[in-house]
Amino acid sequence: MAYLDNIAVFVRVVELGNLSAAGRDMRISPAVASNRIKELEKHLGVRLFNRTTRQLMPTEHGTVFYSGAKQVLEAITEAEAAVSALSGQPRGTIKVTAPLGLGRRLVASGIPDFHDKYPDIEVRLRLSDHNVDIMKEGIDVAFRLGIIEDSSLRMRGIMECERVLVAAPKYLEARGEPMDPQELIGRRHDCLMLRYSGAREYVWTLQTPAGQQKFEVHGPYDTDDGDVLTGWALSGRGIINKPRFEVEPFIRDRRLKVILASTPPTPVQFAAVYPHKKLQDPKVRLLLDFMAERCQRLIKDILAGK
């Protein structure tokens, strides 16, 4: 097992580019990760990395070994999944990611319940509003809101979620309530945006009588944290575009008001995405089934005020 552990560390170092990131991913210290690489290099009798101050780059030998090592680890994972399916006792670790707000509200609370039901399955949850590179980060399941464009991934739709434009009453009193989507263009209103590499929130697509139309909106500041956006809106700083279930409690207690209800944003797909081969793994199927049912129920309860 020590040799396989060394190979696993080597693969993650290649994929993540440094020992610290690989160590965090595998829950070991950088020193332990470094020792495993040294043991592997000693065993193979070659240097696997060229070391710089910031990054480890695989040597020619390292690049060749990575290709074979990756296949070995994938084969072991598939073999373990097949045994789990045959024995009826799924076990192992699942790496899951989700956006911050959605993850906190819907996914995180379900992880302990899932583990109670399947105690031999460990779950590592990572919450981030950035688009996590599923293949690079070794993610098994990612819960996402929005269009999935990566053809290397499979998608399981969970439910279509209504989106709304909302603002605090005191913002609308100070700036006026927009009656037409055209009022969002330019700088007549502060539209607060979720923005990070690859994000498209600076363009809001609304459903109008003429069909879907895109509106390029502007705001004085943005963030990569969806909950921060909601906080800004609650404090009267501007208009936000959000899945309704995320802001429904604030709409109900009148801390936020829905605007432009006749021309709402297009709905967003709440889905789970995963690499093609992962659905063959029983523990991944179990997690997908469990979380899909749970998330549907929680969203419906939130919208119903339960």
- Set out the domains of the chain in order of their start, with CATH numbers: 2-85 (1.10.10.10), 89-160+269-303 (3.40.190.10), 163-266 (3.40.190.290)
Confidence class of residue 75 from pLDDT cuts 50, 70 and 90? confident
User: Under a CB-based contact definition with an 8 Å cutoff, are residues 271 and 149 in contact?
Assistant: no
User: Is the pLDDT reported for residue 86 higher than 70?
Assistant: no
Average pLDDT of the residues in 223-239: 93
Percentage of the chain exceeding pLDDT 70: 90
Q: What is the DSSP letter of 7?
A: H
Cα separation, 6 vs 4, whole angstroms: 5
What is the per-residue pLDDT for 197? Answer: 56
| pLDDT at 52 > cutoff 80 | no
Q: For the chain, first and last CA: distance in Å?
A: 49
What are the tokens at 177?
A: 């309530």
**Residue range 251-279: mean pLDDT, rounded:** 90
Whole-angstrom Cα Rg for the chain: 23
- Residue 198: the pLDDT is 54
Q: Which residues contact 250 (CB under 8 A, 6 or more apart)?
A: 166, 230, 234, 256
Q: How confident is the model at residue 138 (pLDDT cuts 50, 70, 90)?
A: confident
pLDDT band at 213 (very low <50, low <70, confident <90, very high): very high
What's the confidence (pLDDT) of residue 278?
61
Helix (H, G, I), strand (E, B) or coil at 278: helix
Number of neighbours of residue 254 by Cβ within 10 angstroms: 9
Q: Give percent of the chain with pLDDT exceeding 90.
A: 42
pLDDT of amino acid 306:
78
Structure tokens at 108: 């995180």
Give the pLDDT of residue 105. Answer: 87
Please report the pLDDT score of residue 76 as a whole number: 76
Flag the least confident range among 198-202, 233-237, 243-247, 296-300: 198-202
From 76-90, 96-110, 209-223, the region with the lowest mean pLDDT: 76-90
Tokens read off for 199: 């994000």
| Contact indicator for 282, 90 with CB cutoff of 8 Å | yes
Check residue 20 and give its pLDDT: 82
Mean pLDDT, residues 87-104 taken together: 83
> DSSP per residue over 125-184, as a string?
EEE-SS---HHHHT-SEEEEES----TTEEEEEEEEE-EEEEE-HHHHHHH---SSGGGG
Whether the Cβ atoms of residue 14 and residue 23 lie closer than 8 Å to each other: no
Neighbours of 303 (CB within 10 A): 14
Q: Is the pLDDT of residue 115 over 90?
A: yes
Phi, psi torsion values for 223, nearest 5 degrees: -155, 165
Question: Looking at residue 53, what is its pLDDT?
Answer: 64
pLDDT score for 277: 67
- Place 169 in a pLDDT band, splitting at 50, 70 and 90: very high
Which pLDDT value is given to residue 214?
Answer: 92
Confidence bin at 288 (pLDDT 50/70/90): very high
What does the mean pLDDT of the chain come to? 86
Model confidence band, residue 280 (pLDDT cutoffs 50, 70, 90): low
Full-model pTM: 0.72
Does residue 276 or residue 97 have the better pLDDT? Answer: 97
**H helices within the chain, ranges in order?**
2-16, 19-26, 30-44, 60-87, 100-102, 110-117, 134-137, 169-175, 226-234, 244-252, 282-303
